[in-house]
């Protein structure tokens, strides 16, 4: 992790990223698909590695510490084959190559100090930012090197994974819950239309926590409790379940907040946003060819309300969810 300001939202994102990526199947999936681009490791070969190292800067009288986000050893029959680190970034960092070089040096140094057999250290930077990474990925790009020195300069390059802009063909190879994360960021960046996967989640609580941290939507906090209970009961949790439950909770909360609005205009604006979220959930059921009765039961809505929206969607295929919501709310306030 770079030295971004440690705000509460940033810390929440750090924890959420680490919890999910720390799952061995997710870590192996990211490694095989996004780092090596071939199936090199199995999840049962992974063992947690150290994330903290201490170093003494040349110009400092005290020791400093640096922390990796997630790190694991890859072992085969008890023999360490490599060490993989993953660093998460939500903002670009022009000095990332220097930071990664420090992490990697510390890992190699520990091998030397332990007198252990040497093995490769590989670090990947998972970037989740809205804008493309445009600050370079190597030491060479940080400085102006005289031409006569270039042949002596030893460069250092990071393995950058730009998650929001991963091609669909690459994301399709992911088999772990990280697939829904990659799809979410592709949708968030506007690269693809929003959809809700029917994929069954292996780590639903960790995925819900991830969405809570990155969306800033508090509804996912309570959704996590429901999901944890479902998981405890042995029930499957799908990606679409997370959003349906959050939206259902948002509908109930939106109604309570609506009664507290002091002005009709304010109520109407809040109602439009609320209805648009509900209509979005209905449209997903309609796209899956669920009947109005089935959708009403799944979303905890009145069947007549669902039928009305189904009819509008069918008769006006070009209208967006927001446009339908505005039309319905305008009728309410006439």
pLDDT score of 299: 86
pLDDT score of 246: 54
Give the residue numbers spanning the domain of 275: 261-332
Domain contains 212? no
Residue with tokens 């007198």: 115
Judge if 63 and 159 occupy the same domain: yes
Structural domain tally of the chain? 2
Judge if 168 and 307 occupy the same domain: no
pLDDT score of 59: 55
Judge if 163 and 76 occupy the same domain: yes
pLDDT score of 242: 72
> How does strand 121-127 pair with strand 79-89?
parallel
Please count the other Cβ atoms lying within 10 Å of the Cβ belonging to residue 282. Answer: 29
Judge if 14 and 90 occupy the same domain: yes
Domain contains 46? yes
Question: At which of 142, 161, 195 does a domain end?
Answer: 195
- H/E run at residue 85: strand 79-89
Domain contains 282? yes
Q: What share of the chain is helix, strand, coil (3-state, %, to 5)?
A: 55, 15, 35
Domain contains 321? yes
Judge if 191 and 266 occupy the same domain: no
Domain contains 208? no
Please count the other Cβ atoms lying within 10 Å of the Cβ belonging to residue 273. Answer: 13
Domain contains 205? no
pLDDT score of 118: 93
Judge if 131 and 49 occupy the same domain: yes
Question: At which of 155, 170, 195 does a domain end?
Answer: 195
Residue 118 C-beta-side C-alpha neighbours within 13 Å? 5
DSSP 250: H
pLDDT in tens, the chain (334 residues): 544 444 445 556 667 778 899 999 999 999 999 999 999 999 999 999 988 776 655 555 555 667 888 999 999 877 889 999 999 998 999 999 999 999 999 999 999 999 878 999 999 999 999 899 999 999 999 999 999 999 999 999 999 999 999 999 999 999 999 999 999 888 887 766 555 567 888 998 888 888 877 766 666 666 777 777 887 888 888 877 776 655 555 444 444 344 444 444 555 677 788 888 889 888 988 888 888 888 888 888 888 888 888 888 877 777 888 888 888 876 665 5
Judge if 20 and 106 occupy the same domain: yes
Cβ atoms of residues 45 and 72 within 8 Å? no
């Amino acid at each position: 992790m770079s030295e971004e300001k440690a705000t509460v939202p940033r810390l929440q994102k750090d924890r959420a990223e680490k919890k999910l990526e720390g799952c061995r199947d997710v870590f192996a999936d990211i490694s095989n698909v996004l780092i090596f681009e071939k199936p090199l490791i199995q999840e049962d070969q992974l063992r947690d590695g150290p994330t903290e190292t201490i170093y003494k800067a040349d110009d400092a009288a005290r020791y400093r510490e640096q922390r990796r986000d997630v790190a694991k050893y890859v072992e085969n029959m008890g023999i360490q084959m490599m060490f993989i680190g993953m660093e998460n970034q939500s903002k670009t960092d022009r000095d990332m190559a220097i930071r990664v070089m420090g992490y990697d040096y510390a890992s190699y140094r520990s091998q030397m100090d332990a007198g252990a057999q040497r093995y490769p250290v590989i670090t990947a930077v998972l970037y989740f930012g809205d804008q493309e990474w445009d600050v370079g990925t190597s030491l060479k790009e940080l400085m102006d090197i005289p031409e006569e020195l270039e042949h002596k300069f030893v460069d250092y390059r990071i393995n950058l994974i730009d998650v929001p802009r991963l091609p669909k063909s690459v994301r399709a190879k992911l088999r772990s819950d990280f697939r829904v994360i990659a799809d979410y960021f592709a949708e968030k960046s506007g690269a693809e239309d929003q959809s809700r996967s029917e994929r069954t989640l292996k780590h639903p609580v960790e995925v819900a926590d991830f969405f809570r941290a990155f969306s800033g939507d508090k509804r996912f906090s309570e959704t996590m409790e429901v999901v944890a209970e479902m998981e405890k009961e042995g029930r499957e949790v799908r990606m679409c379940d997370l959003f349906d439950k959050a939206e259902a909770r948002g509908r109930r909360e939106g109604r309570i907040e609506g009664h507290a609005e002091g002005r009709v205009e304010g109520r109407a604006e809040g109602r439009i946003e609320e209805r648009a979220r509900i209509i979005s959930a209905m449209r997903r059921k309609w796209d899956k060819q669920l009947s109005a009765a089935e959708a009403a039961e799944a979303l905890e809505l009145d069947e007549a309300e669902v039928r009305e929206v189904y009819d509008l969607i069918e008769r006006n295929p070009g209208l967006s969810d927001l446009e339908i919501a505005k039309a319905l709310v305008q009728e309410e306030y006439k």
